[in-house]
Amino acid sequence: MITITAQGKDIPALGFGTYKLTGAACQTAVAKALEIGYRHIDTAQFYNNEADIGTAIAASNVAREDIFLTTKIWPDNAVEGKLQSSFDESLKKLKTDYVDLLLIHWPSSPAPFAEQMKALQSVKDAGKAKLIGISNYTIPQMQEVVEKIGAPVVANQVEYHPYLSQKPLLDYIRAHGMFLTAYCPLAQGRIANDPVLGKIAKAHGKTTGQIALRWLLQQERVAAIPKAGSEKHIRENFEIFDFTLSDGEMNEIFALARPDGRLVNPQGIAPKWDKAA
């Protein structure tokens, strides 16, 4: 397993995403992921599956301290008082007294950033979140949070895959000792028939998905959280540590980025995105 060290913690770079997994299907998938070897599980209040994940973790043979668990506060809850109370509910559902990383899900809360960060910090100070961070924040928003407010955010979880460049954001993240967690790392399946990825996959005896994930994890301070429901895909996404992409192959994949590559842009919630590199 590749790990990222940030603020004294070692974070498994490959995580298991759970968006749209609920109920028994979610419990089965998380249980299988833990059995296969995943030690980084990602969820959110919005996913409505924290209780399912808590059940799966509690029933597993993996010790809680060996799992890096992330959840996210929905923007409506990201105000003083409500953040703390809603997070306590999340902890009850997750059947744990702490998470390893707590994020603000989108930068669209009615509360100013200073209030959000103060509330996040209070949760961290109470020992209920080992690390705190943000999700879907732009560079100007990160500058306000990190430089103006001085919040000790460790990560920004954003959409990142071969069709969407995040170079300016990554440059900022690296310069400030943070890491980027890539969601939609397989571009919602759109990479499956990509000829460039297909050629590289054939050379390594891998799938296009495995190539895309390896490309992400070979980048400095980048984690990825692919979601999968079937055991086949859960296992496939994990089998990316037995090969390495060359510099030439990495650059071929970087060249796939395009101006219209973004897939996730919810109206009324998403910020005005950074200009594509």
Active-site amino acid positions: 47
Q: Are 253 and 195 in contact (CB under 8 A)?
A: no
β-pairing, 9-12 vs 3-6, is antiparallel
Q: How far apart are CA 152 and CA 130, in angstroms?
A: 11
Taking alpha carbons only, the member of 167, 238, 248 closest to residue 209 is 238
Q: How far apart are CA 168 and CA 163, in angstroms?
A: 15
β-pairing, 16-17 vs 40-42, is parallel
Q: How far apart are CA 127 and CA 100, in angstroms?
A: 10
Taking alpha carbons only, the member of 177, 161, 176, 169 closest to residue 212 is 161
β partners of residue 14: 224
Reduced to 3 states (helix: H, G, I; strand: E, B; else coil), residue 98 is coil
Residue listed under structure tokens 């993996």: 62
**CA within 13 Å, CB half, 206:** 24
Q: How far apart are CA 232 and CA 229, in angstroms?
A: 9
CA angle, corner 37, sides to 250 and 20, nearest 5? 80
